[in-house]
Amino acid sequence: MQEIEIADLRKITEIIQSSHDYDFTNYAMSSFKRRIQRVIELYKLSSVDALVKRLEADQNFFKEFLSEITVNVTEMFRDPTFWRELRDDIIPNILLNNDTFSIWHAGCSSGEEVFSIAILLKEMGILDRVKIVATDIDHVILYRARQGMYSMKNMELNGKNYIQFQGKSSLTDYYREEGGKAIMNKDLVENVEFREHNLVIGDPFSKFDLVLCRNVMIYFNQTLQNQVLKLFHASMHKYAYLAIGAKESLIWCEIANKFIVVNNEEKIYKKIKD
Ligand SMILES: C[S@@+](CC[C@H](N)C(=O)[O-])C[C@H]1O[C@@H](n2cnc3c(N)ncnc32)[C@H](O)[C@@H]1O
């Protein structure tokens, strides 16, 4: 397989845009290139042109492609200290001024983080007072999030994270095992709306008190990060919180002055200006 060049990536992003109306132009080049390489190998395509032809002609292939091109790696209670900070500081602060509140979980992948926040809220006794909207660009992964069914192998790691999070119970209380899979308790996501939403073209659709978007913008270039942060800013009430991934930062973005850092370690920010 020949090295993929910038001109190839351009060809691919153009066909995705013209045939499927998704814009990957501002995805970080190196990881996008790696994912394209992976798709070509996985589907045993002979060249970039073969990929372009397939993308042009085959709608079902595009759905699979979209799933492959986006990185879906996730865990429950990943970075346990982050979830502790949410439980012990951020959410109590939101509750000072609100009986009920709302969370936008952007880039929720297969839902492990959605179940994490739901468990956290349940243990705080406030799950029924919180509306959660969980979104992702990839409808295949959203289907898995809605199902809430995970491999037992992954649950081992999730269980370890939960212990470090210092949950009140045992993670096993929140699922049952069936056919080698963990089936999450449905009541956890009763107030969760899972919906398809593309951060690249999406408009603000509501205002939230807390926006979680962890390990998503790491795949975007600076231009797209700026654009998406404007979208989050417009989707947040004044004094709402925004949490991003441990390896991400907001300080370089154009509208950094509209936020303050609440916790630099856990990458939690607060909107202070409209
Ligand atoms: C690495 S996962 C992060 C999952 C979870 N937030 C976490 O930190 O464990 C990145 C997710 O972002 C989603 N994503 C990528 N581009 C997106 C876009 N333009 N709009 C919405 N979601 C996107 C992917 O489909 C994937 O599920």
Nearest CA to ligand 1 atom 11: 107
Q: Rounded to the nearest whole angstrom, what is the distance from the C-alpha of residue 106 to the centroid of ligand 1? A: 7
Nearest CA to ligand 1 atom 15: 70
Checking 200-207 for CB contacts under 8 A at 24+ apart, the result is 200/22, 200/23, 200/24, 200/26, 200/137, 200/224, 200/227, 200/228, 201/23, 202/231, 203/231, 204/231, 204/234, 204/235, 205/235, 206/102, 206/104, 206/133, 206/235, 207/102, 207/235, 207/236, 207/237, 207/240
Give the tens place of pLDDT for each residue, 179-220: 999 999 999 999 999 999 999 998 899 999 999 999 999 999
Return the ligand 1 atom nearest residue 199 CA.
Answer: 20
Q: What percent of the chain has pLDDT over 90?
A: 96
Q: Rounded to the nearest whole angstrom, what is the distance from the C-alpha of residue 24 to the centroid of ligand 1? A: 13
- pTM, entire model: 0.96
**199 Cβ below 6 A of ligand 1:** yes
- Domains in the chain: ranges and CATH: 6-69 (no CATH), 80-149+187-271 (3.40.50.150)
Q: Rounded to the nearest whole angstrom, what is the distance from the C-alpha of residue 175 to the centroid of ligand 1? A: 24
Give the tens place of pLDDT for each residue, 47-101: 999 999 999 989 899 999 999 999 999 999 999 999 999 999 999 999 999 999 9
